[in-house]
Amino acid sequence: MVEIGLLGVPSNSSGTADGVALAPAVLREAGLLDALGEALPVVDHGDVPSIPGGPARDAATGMIDPHGLRATVEEVRRGVAAILGEGRFPLVVGGDCPLLLGCLAASGRSGERGLLFVDGHEDAYPPERSPTGEAADMELGIATGITDVGWWPELAAASPLVRPRDVRILGARDADQLDLDGVPSLADTVPLVDGKALVTDPARETSRAVTSLAVPWWFHVDLDVLATEALPAVDYVQPGGLSWDDLDEVAEVALAAGPIGWDVTIYNPDLDPTREHARRIVRFLGEALRHLPG
């Protein structure tokens, strides 16, 4: 039987220790371990250290706290590698999207790994064009080698973590915003099913995506792929998006196809005072993991 290895990443690429950085602790308080344990055996690997470096934007890189980003990604890489080395399935709960870089770095070599990227945003802003300076605007650009990381020698040596042709994007709906910001969409270089198309048949589109992925492949879910009505506890809301039932279908099909690991990000407990949405996320995770191949 598959055994889950749970890893929390209390990260916030705004350089602070609040907001999404609180998600791992709040989801645990909302019963995450019990929900996972009802689905499959689970071992809690704890949280990686929180390394907030402050909200100032670095002049050289155009990013907020690039040194904290490097340190967090390395901690995630070590944690995921340890879980995989013990034969467990990594479930990495953030925090925000740049933790994906550590997950990919731990899960094979470029050209020998794929990525199912389920997200309301493409997340490939050039740092100098990012309206926020947060690495959460940029992680897919960094992962695919589209964004230069010469200032980060370890990552540059491994770049790309995943080739653009080995990525499948489902659910992005920020094309109009990218156009306003003068940033090209990845749609010409990465297979992409936008939010409007995904919602018409989530299971079919997910099946098409995963059957064409390189193996092994990693599964990334940014919860802002959901509609604001389904999950308002995210920092950057947009029109459109999936219902919880839609996301359940995506996750069930994806997990049944056998990814090497899964990360889930972007829930902000500061926007969920009653913890209603924390409980819904916990239920989603526990139910979805029942679909992992035995």
| pLDDT tens digits, 8-42 | 999 999 999 999 999 999 999 999 999 999 999 99
108 pLDDT exceeds 90? no
List, for residues 159-187, the tens digit of each pLDDT value.
999 999 999 999 999 999 999 999 999 99
Instruction: Give residue 235's pLDDT.
Output: 96
Going by pLDDT thresholds of 50, 70 and 90, the confidence category of residue 52 is confident
Q: Where are the domains of the chain?
A: 4-291
What is the homologous superfamily of the domain 4-291 according to CATH? Ureohydrolase domain (3.40.800.10)
**How far, in Å, CA of 279 to CA of 24, rounded?**
12
Written as six digits, the tokens of 185 are 């969409």
Instruction: Give residue 51's pLDDT.
Output: 86
Instruction: Using DSSP, state whether 192 is helix, strand or coil.
Output: strand
Handedness of CA 288, 47, 14, 71 (dihedral sign): negative
| pTM for the structure as a whole | 0.98
211 pLDDT exceeds 80? yes
**How far, in Å, CA of 165 to CA of 273, rounded?**
41
Pairing of strands 217-222, 114-118: parallel
In SS3 terms, 248-275 reads as HHHHHHHHHCCCCEEEEECCCHHHCCCC
